[in-house]
Amino acid sequence: MFRIKTLNYEFASPYVLGLHDAIPTITFRGAFGYALAQVIAREACVPELAEQVDLYRRFFMPENDGEENSRNHDLARPFELRGFYSREDKRSFILQIQLFGKAIEHEQLFDHVIEVISYMGIGNRHQVCHFEKLRTAETTPEALTPTEHLMVYYLTPCVRLKSGGRIYSDFIPFHVLLPRLIDRLTELDNLYGDGSFEQSWDIGGMKRASRRIADIAEKGVVCRTKRTSSRTKQEMHLKGFQGKALYEGDFTAFLEPLKYLPHVNIGRFNVFGCGWCTLEFQNNNPLMKGAV
């Protein structure tokens, strides 16, 4: 079984947290990389910590050396960020880190980097925050009971889902959603799990069959935003669909990958918090109720 564990941290400040307006976790991901660099710089010169520094690099900055089973130079990270404000005045934020596979065994490394972020400062004001680790738990995705109607809620912009040479950012057909989900799951499992997804799933069959699912309706917006690093001034441009989509058909063949969709962000910049989705099978045609 592909293992998933959720770490929860709360950041609190006497002042409004200066996080990104559209995707707050992008700010944390920027701080995460900077804090990691400080940790590596400090610990790399200590011989006893050489193995730990190697773990940091392997998990946070993995690159394909030609031996990995991936077409990409930059490999999938074994973690992703999610989160939400826990106060209306935006003075506290719950940061969630999803860990996958082997990364679960090194939870303390993530704790260390998060602690550095708290006193290094976060947001455009580099605010020092009170930091508290909350409950952590391993997650076992529940089996799904399908109906003919599947609603997918794209909670954060689904940035750059690519299929057949086209980039989908204004709507997400099911025949694009499912293959990209399968690709992400199999790469994560091959790199950090036991590779059982690729061995047990009829991947080609599922991808071909996904074209038989009808795209009934979508309701949402094309989120256009950018993130500018307060430290390096580097700009990251983001454009992607955010909203909900209704699909119709026989979903029986896709239940195994679909049950992981609420737990694994998809699309480019998934580690930053983009492509966070939930789903719901509905008993009646939601169009009759004006749900989309």
Contact, 292 vs 244, CB < 8 A?
A: yes
- At residue 39, the pLDDT reads 77
**pLDDT tens digits, one per residue of 163-208:** 988 999 889 999 999 999 999 999 999 999 999 999 999 999 999 9
Q: Is the pLDDT of residue 221 over 60?
A: yes
- At residue 63, the pLDDT reads 64
DSSP structure string for 186-231: HHHHHHHS-SHHHHHS-HHHHHHHGGGSEEEEEEEEEEEEEEE-TT
Contact, 78 vs 61, CB < 8 A?
A: no
Q: Is the pLDDT of residue 68 over 80?
A: no
For the chain, the first-to-last Cα distance in angstroms comes to 35
Domains (range + CATH), the chain: 4-139 (no CATH), 149-289 (3.30.70.1900)
- Tokens 């550095």 found at: 116
Confidence of residue 72 (pLDDT cuts 50, 70, 90): low
Mean pLDDT, range 92-113, rounded to an integer = 92
Higher pLDDT, 181 or 231: 181
- At residue 179, the pLDDT reads 97
Mean pLDDT, range 256-270, rounded to an integer = 95
Computed over every residue of the chain, the mean pLDDT equals 87
- At residue 66, the pLDDT reads 56
- At residue 106, the pLDDT reads 86
Q: Is the pLDDT of residue 10 over 90?
A: yes
How large a percentage of the chain has pLDDT more than 70? 87
